Structure 1
């Protein structure tokens, strides 16, 4: 009884957050999982269809395309964001005038709304009267406007914008990790004749290992889940070149008629697609966890 009384204050402190988690997290998931087995369009009666939604899922080419696009988007974002974040962290971890200002500038995109950021970049990258095309034309670098949001370059543009928005967040995490490395380790290496590259590869990277694992996990999950900027920039177009998984799920629940997709809500099928995307993200995360356990042996 005494132990229960001791634990009660902690329970009351966690109750509000636990309630919000159940109401805003667990309940919507269970609600959506129920409709996976129904044909329901948001209005009217719901009709039980069993596994018909999953049968449709396996033959849905648009979903397959969205999965492939998601891995291209996530892979490109990770390949650019992580090295750039680490490089900036190493540079801005040194003592020099204006260091904190530069850190704030690089971190600023992280706190800007994805929708606002995407609207600004849409104005910059617009194929016809975009600021970037006009600037390059005036300089004589190009003769014709570049279709930055066209079929050939839309995905690359979306990746570059995503990198711009994410690099500052991971940079600060890397800086926190770098500041936890004792300075005398580098001093000892200098006395042994180690140069800058040797210090980086044999001291910084191994001792930054736990932070690097955490950053990689966050980056992988966020890259697979990201869709907001793509929705504002291209709505998944042109011709599905930037359609990613979570944007496809969003369209099934909240149709975007201007993109040429169906303007009918498909909550039943959308729930099945949402469940499939969650499974894909979960599998990728588990694979990463399994690989990271092997990396732990290096630290």
Structure 2
């Protein structure tokens, strides 16, 4: 009897989490798996069409353009975020005055809503009455179309990097603080300078943390779209439309942009979601394989 009570007591703790996982995780995935084989626009009856949705995905130039934009966006974000986060962590790991306040300031963007952050940056980068262009005009310079064709991708990359660098900085900082100080003292006695210590001690001993941070950064960058949706809606002319923003528009159409999807397409959107998941999964597997090879070579 006591065993039954203990089991019921344990299951009572597990049930809420399991229920939410079932309703908000497993059921939507199962729903999408079903409708990827149907033509379904959210109303009327779903019509079974087999693999036609996947055939359409393969021929959808707008989607594959968005995949290319995703790689540009993710690559640019990684090239800025990872080195900057490591540099900030290395600086704040020293005994600087006010370092705790600086850590909090750099980490603050991580806890701010992405949509709110993007709205703030929209008021800064707005081409017509943005704060940055107003400042440039007062300084005697011509205004810049920050969200226009030539600068939009760079702008959204910078905004994304600003929002992510604090999180990875904190992870690098935790890794740096786990490196024994005795190692640096011994290398100093052997005549090693700061650059040599960083290259031959810090980076190798930070390897496991580095691999984790890069993996998180890759997945987050590939899946990111929220700030782009607020800043440009994928424009101008689809130049900043990443694949998960394109997917979002299939389920929740938005207007005001030439690249916008105007009709809900739940069936086709489910097929696109599956292809997006495969792309992210393949990139993750390639990175895992490459990191394991690097570990075996050490």
The equivalent residue for 2:278 is: 279
Distance in 1 (alpha carbons) for counterparts of 2:134 and 2:90? 35
The equivalent residue for 1:35 is: 35
Q: CA RMSD in A?
A: 1.9
Structure 1 residues 6 and 178: alpha-carbon distance in aligned structure 2, compared to 1, 3 A threshold = farther
Structure 1 residues 6 and 195: alpha-carbon distance in aligned structure 2, compared to 1, 3 A threshold = farther
Distance in 2 (alpha carbons) for counterparts of 1:217 and 1:4? 43
The equivalent residue for 2:200 is: 202
Shift of 1:134: 1.1
1:129-158 deviations in whole A, cap 9, x for unaligned? 111111112112x2x211100011100000
Please tell me whether the aligned partners of residues 39 and 268 of structure 1 are also in contact (alpha carbons under 8 angstroms).
Answer: yes
The equivalent residue for 2:296 is: 297
Q: Identify unmatched segments of 5+ residues in structure 2.
A: none
Shift of 1:48: 0.7
Secondary structure at 1:202 match in 2 = helix
Shift of 1:296: 2.1
Structure 1 residues 6 and 57: alpha-carbon distance in aligned structure 2, compared to 1, 3 A threshold = same
Structure 1 residues 3 and 184: alpha-carbon distance in aligned structure 2, compared to 1, 3 A threshold = farther
Bigger CA drift: 128-137 or 164-173? Answer: 128-137
Shift of 1:51: 0.8
Bigger CA drift: 265-274 or 16-25? Answer: 16-25
Bigger CA drift: 10-19 or 246-255? Answer: 10-19
Structure 1 residues 8 and 196: alpha-carbon distance in aligned structure 2, compared to 1, 3 A threshold = farther
Structure 1 residues 15 and 265: alpha-carbon distance in aligned structure 2, compared to 1, 3 A threshold = same
Distance in 2 (alpha carbons) for counterparts of 1:225 and 1:131? 29
The equivalent residue for 1:108 is: 108
Please tell me whether the aligned partners of residues 69 and 241 of structure 1 are also in contact (alpha carbons under 8 angstroms).
Answer: yes
Secondary structure at 2:96 match in 1 = coil
1:179 aligns with 2:177: yes
Please tell me whether the aligned partners of residues 127 and 133 of structure 1 are also in contact (alpha carbons under 8 angstroms).
Answer: yes
Runs of 4+ in 1 over 4 A off after TM superposition: 2-12
1:227-261 deviations in whole A, cap 9, x for unaligned? 00000000000000000010000000000022243
Shift of 1:14: 3.5
Structure 1 residues 152 and 179: alpha-carbon distance in aligned structure 2, compared to 1, 3 A threshold = same
1:161-185 deviations in whole A, cap 9, x for unaligned? 0000000000000000001000000
1:268 aligns with 2:281: no
Q: How many residues align?
A: 297
Which of these residues, 203, 212, 215, is aligned with residue 214 of structure 1?
212
Please tell me whether the aligned partners of residues 206 and 298 of structure 1 are also in contact (alpha carbons under 8 angstroms).
Answer: no
Please tell me whether the aligned partners of residues 219 and 280 of structure 2 are also in contact (alpha carbons under 8 angstroms).
Answer: yes
Distance in 2 (alpha carbons) for counterparts of 1:108 and 1:209? 26
Shift of 1:16: 2.6
Distance in 2 (alpha carbons) for counterparts of 1:178 and 1:8? 44
- The within-5 A match list for 1:68-87 is 68-87=68-87
The equivalent residue for 1:248 is: 246
Please tell me whether the aligned partners of residues 237 and 257 of structure 2 are also in contact (alpha carbons under 8 angstroms).
Answer: no
The equivalent residue for 2:287 is: 288
1:26 aligns with 2:23: no
Please tell me whether the aligned partners of residues 35 and 268 of structure 1 are also in contact (alpha carbons under 8 angstroms).
Answer: yes
Shift of 1:19: 2.4
